[in-house]
Amino acid sequence: MPATTVRRRKTKEDLTRTERKDLTRGSLLQAALALIGEGRSFTSLGIREIAREAGLVPNAFYRHFRNTDELGLALVEEVGITLRRLLREARQPQPNARQSDVVRQSVEVYHQYVLHNRLQFLFISSERAGGSRTLRMAIRNHVSHFTNEMAQDIRRLGLFPDMSTASLQLVCGLIATSMLAAAPEILDLPADQPLLAAEMTDNFVQQLHIILLGASGWKDKPMAGSAN
């Protein structure tokens, strides 16, 4: 009978320099999120306490981030890129799919992503409205990317063919704002209330349908000076 080879689990000493660096960086990000989960605002966090929560000395922080804003930017980037990718996948055209199917699938993907990334969205929801201007601008930048990508996908799906690009981006901006506003409500839902969660999803889907219904009746005003 052939001998079975038992693989030894990698220890920290076995990791490459890059792997150790990534591990330490991830520990600092998770430490900041853990403190936010305890009710702290991100702007109140200090470098020493983040490092202490991560089990590191303060100098280790500066090997990865110049300041807490830079750490916050890394959190915004992580959430923004992943969420945009998931929602673009949800908007991919499926055979015989209706507009309502795409809307519901997008809402369900978003709902699950918020629930599975609770601490990240506590951070995003808090920093979007207050705190550091640097982080507010970073969040707005991702919302702008999300809006543009949604407008591109809507064009590709053949929806609102007569609507100007500027108006379409306004519509997509309304949808993006509604999605961000829904995050705190999703986070406040009790975990043992599936009926409430289903009701919230239905209400959110209906809210987006109302935005799209209004968009379908929108008529772009002619440019000033254009011929009648």
Q: What is the pLDDT confidence band of residue 81, given thresholds at 50, 70 and 90?
A: very high
| Position 15 pLDDT exceeds 80 | no
Q: 138-178 pLDDT, tens per residue?
A: 999 999 999 999 999 999 888 899 899 999 999 999 999 99
Q: Is the pTM of this model over 0.85?
A: no
Please say if the pLDDT value at position 219 is more than 90: no
pLDDT digits (tens, 9 = 90+) for 188-212: 988 888 999 999 999 999 999 999 9
Q: How far is CA 146 from the centre of its chain?
A: 9
Q: According to the model, what pLDDT value does residue 185 have?
A: 92
Distance CA 111, CA 197 (A): 9
Q: Does 225 score more than 60 pLDDT?
A: no
What is the rounded distance in angstroms from the CA atom of residue 94 to the CA atom of residue 84? 18
Average pLDDT of span 41-66:
95
pLDDT digit string, tens, across residues 106-137: 999 999 999 999 999 999 999 988 878 999 99
**DSSP codes, 43-56:** GG--HHHHHHHHT-
Whole-angstrom distance, CA of residue 38 vs CA of residue 97:
43
pLDDT higher than 90, residue 32: yes
Phi then psi for 11, rounded to 5 degrees?
-95, 170
Cα dist from 173 to 58, 148, 177, whole Å: 40, 9, 6
The DSSP letter of residue 217 is T
Angle at 156 between CA 153 and CA 157, to 5 degrees: 90
For residue 58, name the pLDDT band (cuts at 50, 70, 90). very high
C-alpha span between 74 and 35 (Å, rounded):
16
